[in-house]
Structures are given as C-alpha cells and as structure tokens.
Amino acid sequence: MQLTGSQDIEAPRERVWDGLLDPRFLKAAIPGCESFTLDDDGAYSAVVLASLGPVRARFRGRLWQEDLHPPARCTLRFEGEGGIAGFAKGSAQVVLEDIDGDTARTRLSYSADVAMGGRLAQIGSRLIDATAKRMAGQFFDKFEALLKDPSALAEGSGEAAAPAASGGQEAFGSDREPAAAVPGKAALVAAAPAVSPAGQFTLQMPGWAWAFTVAVLAAAAAWLGTH
C-alpha cells in the first residue's frame, strides 16, 4: 500500500529537520508513545499504546534510517507489530523543500510503501489510507506546535506538551493515563549525536516513520474496534 501526503510547516527546513531527528519532539508528538530503546544492532525499538474508542492495543516496532541528506531528504525502514491486530512494515521517503522560495516555511512531503499482515490486511487495508492521512496530519499539527513552543518538551511528557491539541489529541489523550516519562531512556536518546553526515547511519529517532506506522496500526485498531 502507498501512503503519500505533504504538510506545510511554519519553520525553516533546518529547524524542521532537527525537530524530526529529535526524539524529544517525536516522543511528544507521536500519540501514545511509551518508550524508545536503542538496540545493540543500532536500530531503535519503541512501544506505542494506541487507544481508540473501545480498542487499546500496544504496538511494538523497530526502525532503521538510510540515505540521510540533511536538511533535504532521507529514507527509513520500519516494522511494527500489533499482536493479534497484525503487523505493518515498509519504508518511507521524506523530502523537505522551501515553499515558493520562502526559507522560513517548509513543505514536508512523504511517500511510504507499507505492507500489512494479519487482521490489518484482512479487514483494515482499504480503510487505512484515509485514516492514516488524518492521523499523520494530527502528528504534524502537534509537531509544528512544539516547534513554535519547545518549552513544553521540558516537561518530558507528550500529553503535557500539547498546546495546540487537535482532533487527534482528543482521540488519544483524554481517556487514559498520560504516558509516564522514562528518564533513563530519554537521556539515552537525548545523548545521541544531533546531526550526522549525509548517508551515514545515525542514532536519531526518525519520528515520521513512527507517525506512519502508528497511524496505520492505530487506524486499524480503531477500525477493528468499531466492527
């Protein structure tokens, strides 16, 4: 399945790029993100609790970055596993461009190839596209708000750092406990090198992949819950 879309962000490319590689931003912006851990093989593992309507499912995933060209484009591969809800895996290409030559504004375009399995494929695939787009939009809304007001990050909680709560915020945040920050892991992630040379593997958490993976899985969870 192909997921494509774009998002205009009121910030320069460099700032968007840094934000997208900053795990604090991503953890705060990804709905329901519980943990990031760095594995021995250099990939990241994360656990995301997606809670929509009556369904709450915990998704585990891993991801790898490839082909980094800051602050213009990169590719990443991801795998997400939602237990009996199935799995999603694939890769995403992300491109950052100035909007009409305006270096203060950035257009982020993404194109993801996602393969799904299990119940996701059986009963959710046709409904994922629109839902994933909507949820990606919610992610970027929150991400943009964090870029404008990074002070929220200091509180270390995604839920607390939601100055511009969108529809997605209501969907995710209101009916459950805020995800507890895990200082040890957060410190580990924050200590990672900020920017790497183009094409080199880095330790940053490329969060938009999570946006896609989580969007896909959570949309499926939502769909499963209503059917």
Partner 1 sequence: MNKIVNEMPAGTVVTPSRQLNHSGIGAPVRRREDPRLLTGKGRFADNITMTRQLRGYVLRSPVAHAKIKRIDVSPALDVPGLVAILTGEDYAADGWGDIPCVSIPPNITGGGYHATPFPPLATDRVLAVGTGVAFIVAETLAAAIDVAERIEVEYDELPVVPTLEAALADNAPLVWPQAKGNRCFTHELGDAAAADAAFERAEHVVRARIRNQRVAGNPMEPRTCIGAWDPGDMRWQLTSSTANPHRIRLILADQILGVPAHRVHVVAGDVGGGFGTKGGIYPEEILVLWAAQRTGRPVKWVSDRSEAFLSDFNGRDQIADAEFAFNKDGTVLGARIVVNHNLGCQLGPSTAHPPLVGTRMLSGVYAIPAMHVTVNGIFTNSRTLTTYRGAGRPEATLVVERMMDLAAEELGLAPDEIRRRNFIRPNQMPYTTCIGETYDCGEFEAIMDEALRLADWEDFAARRADSEARGRLRGRGLAVYIEVCATISERMEVRFDSAGGVTILAGTFSYGQGHETSFVQMAHEWLGVPIEKIRLLQGDTDKIATGRGSFGSRSMTVGGSALKQACESVIDKGTRLAAIMLEVDPAEIVFESGLYLWKAGDQRSVTIDEVAKASFAWKGVTTYASGALKSIPADLWSGLEGIGHFSANPQNYPNGCYIAEVEVEPETGQVHLVGVTAVDDVGNVVNPLLLEGQIMGAIAQAAGQALKEKVVHDETGQLLTGAYTDYAMPQAGDFPRFKLGLRSVPTATNPLGVKGGAEAGTVGLPPAIVSAVVDALRPYGVRDLKMPLTPMSVWEAMNPEGEEE
- The type of residue at 181 is A
CB of 81 to partner 1, least distance (A): 9
* Cis peptide preceding 71, ω within 30 of 0: yes
- Does position 216 interact with partner 1 (CB under 8 A)? The reply is no
> Using the rule CB under 8 A, is 58 a contact of partner 1?
yes
Please tell me whether residue 55 binds partner 1 under the rule CB under 8 A. Answer: no
Alpha carbon separation from 102 to 13, 106, 219 (Å, rounded): 10, 8, 34
Nearest-angstrom CA–CA distance, 223 and 128? 9
Q: Is the backbone peptide bond immediately before 150 cis, with ω within 30 degrees of 0? A: no
| Segment interacting with partner 1, rule: CB under 8 A, options 24-32, 62-70, 119-127, 161-169 | 119-127
Contact present, 57 and 32 (Cβ < 8 Å) = no
With respect to partner 1, which residue has the nearer C-beta, 191 or 226? Answer: 226
| 202 secondary structure, DSSP code | -
Q: Are strands 102-117 and 2-9 parallel, antiparallel or unpaired?
A: antiparallel
Binding mask 73-92 for partner 1 (x = CB under 8 A): ----------xx-xx-----
- 57 near partner 1, rule: CB under 8 A: yes
Does 198 sit near partner 1 (CB under 8 A)? no
In the bound state with partner 1, the residue whose beta carbon lies nearer, of 93 and 125, is 125
Q: Is 163 in the site for partner 1 (CB under 8 A)?
A: no
Binding site for partner 1 (CB under 8 A): 57-58, 83-84, 86-87, 115-119, 121-123, 125-127, 227
